[in-house]
Amino acid sequence: MTDLLNILIFLPLAVGILLFLVPDKLRIWKGSAAFAVTLLVLFAAIRIYGAEEVIVPLIQQVQGSAFLTQFTHTLQEFTVLNMNALSKLILLFLAVLAPLIGLYSIYREKNADFPAHFYSWFLITLGCSAGTVLAENLLLFLFFWGVLGYTLYKLIAQNDEASSASAKKTLIIIGSSDALMIIGIGLIWNIAGTLNISELSIATTGGPAVMAFLLLAIGAFTKAGAFPFHTWILNFTEKAHGLSSAYMPASFDKLIGIYFLALLCSRIFELNQWLVFALLIIGVCTIIFAVMMALIQHNFKKLLGYHAVSQVGYMIVGISLGSPLGIAAGLFHMFNNAVYKGGLFLTAASVERRTGTSDIDKTGGLASKMPLTFIAAVVFALSISGIPPLNGFASKWMIYQGIVDFGQQSGIASQLWIIWLALAVFGSALTLASFIKYVSGIFLGRKKEIYEKIKEVGLLQWIPMMLLAVICIWFGAFATEYVIKELFMPVSGTFAFVGIWDSSLLLWLVVASIVVGFLIYWIGSLKNMRKVEPFIGGEKADETQGYPITGFYHTLRKSRYLAFFYARAEEKWFDIYDLFKGFVLWTNKGFSTIHTGVLTTYAFWIYGGLAIILLLLIL
Amino acid sequence: MELIPALYIILPLLGAFLIPIVGHFVKGFQKTLSVLITLFLVVYSVWFYVVGYDAPAVTKVGGWEAVKGIPIAIYLVYDGLSAFILLTVNLIAFLSTFYAMGYIKRFTAENNFYALLCLMIAGMNGVVLSGDIFNIYVFLEIAVIASYALVAFGTEKRELEASFKYQVLGGIASLLILFAVGLLYWQTQTLNLADISAILQYEDQSTALIFTEVLLIVGFGLKAAMIPFHAWLPDAHSSAPSPISAMLSGVLIKAVGVYALIRLFFNIFTITYELTLVIIVLGTLSMVIGVLLAIGQWDLKRLLAYHSISQMGYVVIGVGIGMMIIFEDGNRTVAALSIAGGLFHLINHAVFKGLLFLDAGAIEYLAGTRNLKELGGLSRKMPVTSSTSLGASMAISGVPPFNGFFSKLLIIIAAVRAEFYLLAALAVFVNFVTLGSFMKFIRYAFFNLKESGVSLIKLRLPFSMKFSMITMVILCVLMSLMVFPFFREILLNPAVDVLMNTGEYASKIIGS
């Protein structure tokens, strides 16, 4: 067991630190080493998944000199790891995703936005993520969790004004939420007298307990990217390399943030109905607001960023339901999201690498040039939009089932179940609407002349994308038979599905309908098929006449009721970071104006301070 | 080997007097001697941590024993707390001096620089070791007068103005302290700290005593740059040559300000509710207002200087919360945690703030400016400065795995455990703003532009500058280990014990 744990945590950290010494010119070699490490981690995670549930110290006491014995003994107390069903599952997910991202990253050419020492930070992130998931003590957890914020910051190449501003904003928001969590941990220590996660079970009745829950939940929300703490994700995904976005905000941060939220809701605290109500409101707000913003984006990386936020809403809704069905649904959606959103960012990275732009208006018609990327992107897009029989449908369906089931209970949040359900379904429809833009804007439509010569990405890049697409299909097709039963029920507890739903049957039905559709198409029209230029009122189509897909969505931006909010949102009225910054700079101005630099004023402050203290203490 | 506390004062004083004379004839003498002296003192401090010593080690200058229990000689007291502060002071002194070897070449009058630096170190060591309040005053004056001269070392308009302000305001503080020393002598007929403590134990808080205590709070509070007594600091710390800024911000405000406050109010005077409250309020004001002032600065060293005010606030509230718990007879573990957090933050701040000033010096050395608006894109051209600055910035902003995270963690958790919720919330708020302003520094100095915004006036940093910077960033990571009980027992706990057992100071020292 100890060897496996060493491979999981220390090996990535050690290799990551060693790779700092290797110059970035040897990128292929560094990438291969990192990939080898991720494979070892995957091996260890599978072995641990099969092993029994134990609580063991990470560092064994070393017998040797008195100093060494004592020192390792001390460390032993502080580095206890807990391998329970939930943490082993999340660990497995982390370990499955890491090699795919690692494999994708291995290519030769240089981009300016590829972060320096990418592989070091990649591996350190992996080791610390494993540590976060396994930590038994909340302080050890916070340590690993905090390091992840720092590695996230290092995964953006700060090569110009906008990207360095994004990096700055990301670390400020993440770091601040980590600091808030310290207070939450202190409160838990006061209430329960221990910080061991497995020994905690706190009823959220008193003020301190509710406060502790909220503060820790803010940490989870920020990391996963829930409204209103999500704004860093948008700046990060817009400016970072697609690979970094696929790695951290799209998959690892979701896995870890939602893991912690699940831990908070189901293990550490027992939620009261008002907290459930608050969580559901945050969940649906996240779904709706983010997807509304996604609709009007022109930058496809930023569009994906908004969806990375929107999907978190579903996970929060699922987990806050509190029932085994809800928790399983939330965790299932978390993993599905990591797969398709990671995949989408990889397709975005491929497109940006080949075309050099991330603007939907400037791309188009790439399907014939990059067919594999196109197929993968379609699978991911359908999956995120909740189209059966893909995995996104399966988990969203379970969340809907969970909400219906939740409606049977008493309590304020349950009474309103129809609202939660309606908003969740509505959000899914809007997701589909915005992914039509993604797929058709990039891959369909008129091909631009400048893109005549571009090629499909290399083998090492399309293999990970295809594997992710296969996971999407497989997890969707066998959701009820295998995936839920074998992977998620051990974590959430067993439950029965609400209503009739058989994912394999659904798969066959969908496949059959597609096949029948093709047959009809072929029989009816194959002979008569011809290719013509699109008819545009007799005019001759040329390059200058573009009909970008994004124009289609302008209606929405200009609609009477939404225009106001869209305009304000783009002025950052709703961005918690800018609001806070405005407040701090305003106070700064106030304090700076009274620092005039006049010596007598300063001397007066000293005597004034002295006088005030004397008055208070002696009178 | 026997512990001789007086060496901490004698050696730098010797250096200060030898350098102007011998340095005049022997080339390179001033650098070599001051580096050797400071290095020796660091090794000496570490050595006694490793082998241990009989605490407290008391030297009676002149060898005069106490008569009928009344101490006559001047006492030098080397206990857990002094040892801890001495380690901090001499460590930063060594690294700054080593850094200065490469940096200070561009100034004339190197001899004067090193002589003044040695004098300042002697003064600080003296304050920390002295067991006698009048000698604390004397050594304090030695340290700050040397620092007045060092602030003015650039002898441009800016530096002279800063030094002038510093002298006037520092003079007010010295006056208040001297006045308080006189009042104390009038009330207790002694100047020996242990003796004062023994006498005051049996007396009620008279108005005269409270008046004296307030004078001392204001006087030492000014040296520690507590708001509203802080106004001299931003000018003085930003105008000094960078290694001196590192010393001033890193250790001077701690040794002659915070240390003296802690020593007097824990070990000498009886802890009262009102005084503790005043100390906590001063700490909170410094912590909050200091950071709000800092974030708007575009002069790098001014930004760092304002952060010193804010970070000292953390140290003071950490120790203040401990004081309040001791006064209320509360949970002693929490009190110890809080004080440990404060002292831990003190040594951490010395290291990362020292490093940040050295980095600022490196930027000024190569780019010729420290205005953040003119800098940018330096990360490729200055990899060492860029990575050490990032490490130190993360440390001061409390991001793991750097040392600042752990000390802030201890302070905030202790505040929550002692149910000082407002203080905990403010400490977290200040941490946000700190992180924000250091991200601003990193972004505008090292990134933001594709190519570096300024043309570099020199191409390479001297080895000595790089060595100090790299050593300190390694320390920023390694010192995190002090949070584990094993290292905590060696380094922090002796100091915490001195403060926790408030009444034992007198009996231990007079008894020995």
- Please give the DSSP secondary-structure letter assigned to residue B153: G
Q: What is the 3-state secondary structure (H, E, C) of A247-278?
A: HHHHHHHHHHHHHHHHHHHHHHEECCHHHHHH
CA distance A44 to A47: 5
Q: Do you know the residue count of chain B?
A: 512
**Residue in chain B lying closest to A112 (CA):** B450
Rg of chain B over all Cα atoms, to the nearest angstrom: 22
The Cβ of residue A566 has, within 10 Å, a number of other Cβ atoms equal to: 17
Residue A186 to residue B424, Cβ atoms within 8 A: yes
CA triple A246-A444-A114, angle to 5 deg: 30
DSSP-derived secondary structure letter, A95: H
Across the interface, do A599 and B168 touch by the CB < 8 Å criterion? Answer: yes
- Any residues with CB less than 8 A from the CB of B225 and at least 6 apart, and which? B232, B233, B253, B257, B286, B308, B309, B312
**Residue A553: predicted pLDDT:** 78
Partnered with residue B75 across adjacent β-strands are: B60
The reply to whether A164 touches chain B by the CB within 8 Å rule is: yes
B439 → closest Cβ in A168, A185, A599: A168
A584:B433 CB<8 A: yes
Q: In this complex, do B379 and A617 lie within 8 Å of one another by their Cβ atoms?
A: no
Tokens 């439950």 found at: A495
Dist. CA B115–CA B138, nearest whole Å: 18
Sort residue A150 into left (φ over 0), alpha (ψ -120 to 50) or beta. alpha
Task: Check residue A67 and give its pLDDT.
Answer: 78
Query: For A584, which of B436, B450, B486 is closest by C-beta distance?
Result: B436
Give every CB contact of residue B18 below 8 A, 6+ residues apart in sequence. B33
Cβ neighbour number for residue B112 with a 10 Å cutoff: 17
Alpha helices in B52-202 (DSSP H): 80-103, 110-129, 133-151, 157-188, 193-200
Task: Cis check for the bond before A389: say yes or no (omega within 30 of 0).
Answer: yes
Which helix (H) or strand (E) element contains residue B57? Answer: strand B57-61
Q: Within an 8 Å CB–CB cutoff, is residue A618 touching chain B? A: yes
Nearest to A74 among B229, B417, B485 (CB): B485
Determine if the peptide bond prior to A57 is cis (ω within 30°).
no
User: A482 to chain B nearest CA, in Å?
Assistant: 40
**A183 closest CB neighbour out of B275, B379, B412:** B412
Determine, for residues A585 and B296 on separate chains, whether the beta-carbon distance falls below 8 Å: yes
Q: From the CA of A205, how many Å to the nearest CA of chain B?
A: 18
B448 and A595 within 8 Å at the Cβ level: the answer is: no
At residue A258, the pLDDT reads 94
The answer to whether residues A368 and A452 touch, using CB atoms and an 8 Å cutoff, is: no
Contact list, B417 vs chain A (CB under 8 Å) = 186, 189-190
Q: Which residues contact B361 (CB under 8 A, 6 or more apart)?
A: B99, B103, B241, B242, B243, B245, B246, B465
Residue type, B503: G
The tokens 């991330």 sit on which residue? A358
Distance CA A554, CA A611 (A): 65
CA atoms within 13 A on the CB side of A308: 41
Give the mutation candidate from B405, B406, B426, B470 for the A interface (greatest A CB count, under 10 A).
B405
Q: The tokens 């002094």 sit on which residue?
A: B82
Q: How far does Cα B84 stand from its chain's mean position? A: 11
Query: Can you give the pLDDT at residue A446?
Result: 77
State whether A147 and B401 contact (CB < 8 Å): yes
CB contact under 8 A, B217 and A613: yes
Q: What is the pLDDT of residues A27-44, one digit of tens each?
A: 899 999 999 999 999 999
Measure Cα distances from B415 to A184, A434, B134, B341, B421 in Å. Answer: 12, 48, 35, 10, 7
Q: Which of A325, A322, A246 is nearest to A283 (CA)?
A: A322
Identity of the residue in B165, B394, B431 whose CB atom sits nearest the CB atom of A179: B431
B379 and A176 within 8 Å at the Cβ level: the answer is no
Task: Spell out which residues of chain B touch residue A605, defining contact as CB-CB under 8 Å.
Answer: 228-229, 231
How close does chain B come to A182, measured CA to CA in Å?
Answer: 7
Which regions of chain A are under pLDDT 50? none
- Name the residue in chain B with its Cα closest to that of A593: B293
Q: How far apart are CA A178 and CA A173, in angstroms?
A: 9
Tell me whether residues B165 and A580 touch, CB distance under 8 A: no
Residues facing B132 on adjacent strands? B192
Q: Taking a C-beta distance cutoff of 8 angstroms, is the pair A86, A263 a contact?
A: yes
Contact B450 A70 (CB under 8 A): no
Amino acid at A48: I
Chain A interface, best mutation among B286, B337, B384, B399, by max A CB count within 10 A: B399
Contacts of A530 (CB under 8 A, 6+ apart): none
Report pLDDT for B450.
77
Contact B56, B77 (CB under 8 A): yes
On whether the CB atoms of residues A322 and A236 are closer than 8 A, the answer is no
Taking the whole predicted model, whether its pTM rises above 0.90 is answered as yes
| Residue listed under structure tokens 């002298």 | B167
B229: chain A residues, CB-CB within 8 Å = 605-606, 609
Distance (Å, whole) CA B252 – CA B11: 18
At residue A546, the pLDDT reads 60
Q: At what angle do helices A27-50 and A118-134 cross, to 10 degrees?
A: 10
Question: Which residues in chain A are closer than 8 Å to B289, comparing Cβ atoms?
Answer: 591
Q: What part of A 598-617 touches B (C-beta under 8 Å)?
A: 599, 601-603, 605-606, 608-610, 613-614, 616-617
| Min Cα–Cα distance to chain B from A207, Å | 12
Interface of A with B in 166-195 (CB under 8 A): 167-168, 171-172, 175-176, 178-180, 182-183, 185-187, 189-190
Cβ neighbours of B447 in A, within 8 Å: 158-159, 163-164, 167
Let me know: does A56 contact A3? Beta carbons within 8 Å.
no
Domain residue spans in chain A? 247-526, 585-618
Contact A190/B443, CB-based, under 8 Å? no
Report pLDDT for B453: 73
Q: Which residues of B touch A182 (CB under 8 A)?
A: 408-409, 412-413, 428
A174 Cα to chain B: minimum distance (Å): 10
Q: Is A70 on the interface with B (CB under 8 A)?
A: yes
Closest CA to B30 of B106, B117, B154, B88: B117
**Interface size, chain A vs chain B, as Cβ–Cβ contacts under 8 Å:** 170
Do A100 and A464 form a contact (C-beta atoms < 8 A)? yes
* Exposed/middle/buried for residue B325 (C-beta within 10 Å: 0-12, 13-18, 19+): buried
| Residue in the structure block whose two tokens are 């706990």 | B493
B218 and A147 within 8 Å at the Cβ level: the answer is no
CA distances from A556 to A361, A399, A561 (A): 17, 28, 9
Report the C-alpha gap between A85 and A488 in whole angstroms. 9
Per-residue pLDDT of chain B (512 residues; tens, 9 = 90+): 778 889 999 999 999 999 999 988 998 899 999 999 999 999 999 998 888 887 788 888 888 888 877 888 889 999 999 999 999 999 999 999 999 999 988 888 889 999 999 999 999 999 999 999 999 999 999 999 999 999 999 888 999 999 999 999 999 999 999 999 999 999 999 999 999 998 888 888 889 999 999 999 999 999 999 989 999 999 999 999 999 999 999 999 999 999 999 999 999 998 899 999 999 999 999 999 999 999 999 999 999 999 999 999 999 999 999 999 999 999 999 999 999 999 999 999 999 999 999 999 999 999 989 999 998 888 888 999 999 999 999 999 999 889 999 999 999 999 999 999 999 999 999 999 999 999 999 999 998 887 777 888 888 899 999 999 999 999 999 999 888 888 888 889 999 999 998 888 888 888 75
Q: Which residue of A has its CA nearest to B289?
A: A591
Alpha carbons within 13 angstroms on the beta-carbon side of residue A430 total: 23
> How far B272 CA sits from the closest chain A CA (Å)?
11
* A chain contacts of residue B443, beta-carbon cutoff 8 Å: 158, 164-165, 167-168
Per-residue pLDDT tens digits for A247-277: 999 999 999 999 999 999 988 999 988 999 9
- Give the mutation candidate from B416, B449, B480, B491 for the A interface (greatest A CB count, under 10 A): B416
Pick from A369, A372, A388: which is nearest to A510 by CA? A388
Which of B299, B345, B448, B488 to probe by mutation at the A interface, max A CB count within 10 Å?
B448
- Domain locations in chain B as residue ranges: 7-511
Are residues B416 and A186, on separate chains, in Cβ contact within 8 Å? yes
Nearest CB among A146, A186, A613 relative to B400 is that of A146
Cis preceding linkage at B243, omega within 30: no
- A392 to chain B, any CB pair closer than 8 A? The answer is no
Select from B228, B394, B440 the Cβ nearest to the Cβ of A150. Answer: B394
For residue A608, the model assigns a pLDDT of 95
Nearest Cα of chain A lies from the Cα of B507 at a distance, in angstroms, of 29
Distance CA A410, CA B286 (A): 51
Which chain B residues contact residue A74 at CB under 8 A? 484-486
Please give the residue of chain B at the shortest CA–CA distance from A602: B231
